[in-house]
Structure 1
Amino acid sequence: MSSCNECVEDSAVEDRGADEPSSVDDAILDAARGCVLDFGVRRSTLAEVARRAGVSRPTVYRRWPDMRAVVGDLLTREIRANLPTPVLGVGPARAALVATAVRSCALIRSHPLFEKIYRTDPEIMMTYISDRLGTSQRALIELLATGITAGQADGSIRAGVPTEMAAMLLLICQSAVQSASMIAELLGRPALDEQLGFAIDGYLRPSATDHDHMTKGDAHA
Structure 2
Amino acid sequence: MSTVGDRQILNAARACVLAAGVHETTFNDIARRAGVSRMTLYRRYSDVGSLISELLGREFARILREHTQVPPGAAPDPRPARQRLVETVVACVEAFQEDPLMTQVLDAEPEILTPYLFNKFGSTQQIAIDLLAHRLNAGHQDGSIRRGSVAVQAHAIVLTVQSFIVSASASGPVPRDRLRSELVLILDGYLRPTCGDEDTPASAGSTGGW
TM range (shorter): 0.7 to 0.9
Q: Give the residue type in structure 1 aligned to 2:14.
A: R
2-side partners of 1:109 and 1:216: how far apart? 35
Percent of matched pairs sharing the same residue: 39
What is the TM-score of this pair, normalised by structure 2? 0.82
Size of the alignment, in residue pairs?
196
2-side partners of 1:86 and 1:73: how far apart? 23
Q: Give the residue type in structure 1 aligned to 2:196.
A: T
CA contact (8 A) 1:94 1:201 kept: yes
Q: Give the residue type in structure 2 aligned to 1:207.
A: T
> Equivalent residue for 2:207?
none
Which has more helix, going by share of residues?
Answer: 1
> Equivalent residue for 1:197?
184
Matches within 5 A, 1:35-114: 35-83=16-64, 84-85=67-68, 89-114=77-102
CA contact (8 A) 2:146 2:191 kept: yes
Displacement after TM superposition at 1:86 (Å): 6.6
> Equivalent residue for 1:165?
153
2-side partners of 1:33 and 1:216: how far apart? 45
Q: Give the residue type in structure 1 aligned to 2:125.
A: Q
CA contact (8 A) 1:86 1:147 kept: no
Please say which of residues 40-49 and 174-183 is displaced more in the overlay: 40-49
Displacement after TM superposition at 1:62 (Å): 4.0
CA contact (8 A) 2:142 2:201 kept: no
Identify which of structures 1 and 2 has the higher relative contact order when contacts are C-alpha pairs closer than 8 Å and 6+ apart.
2
Q: Give the residue type in structure 2 aligned to 1:115.
A: T
The structure 2 residue matched to 1:135, chosen from 118, 123, 142, is 123
Displacement after TM superposition at 1:75 (Å): 0.6
C-alpha offsets along residues 124-160 of structure 1, whole Å, 9 cap, x if unaligned?
2334323322221211121112111111111111111
What is the TM-score of this pair, normalised by structure 1? 0.79
RMSD: 2.5
Please say which of residues 87-96 and 133-142 is displaced more in the overlay: 87-96
Q: Give the residue type in structure 1 aligned to 2:90.
A: V
> Equivalent residue for 2:208?
none
CA contact (8 A) 2:147 2:197 kept: yes
1-side partners of 2:202 and 2:177: how far apart? 40
Cα 1:196–1:215 shift into 2, 3 Å:
closer
SS at match of 2:196: helix
> Equivalent residue for 1:154?
142
What stretches of structure 2 of length at least 5 have no aligned partner? 71-75, 204-210
2-side partners of 1:190 and 1:64: how far apart? 36
What stretches of structure 1 of length at least 5 have no aligned partner? 1-20
Cα 1:86–1:198 shift into 2, 3 Å:
farther
Cα 1:45–1:128 shift into 2, 3 Å:
farther
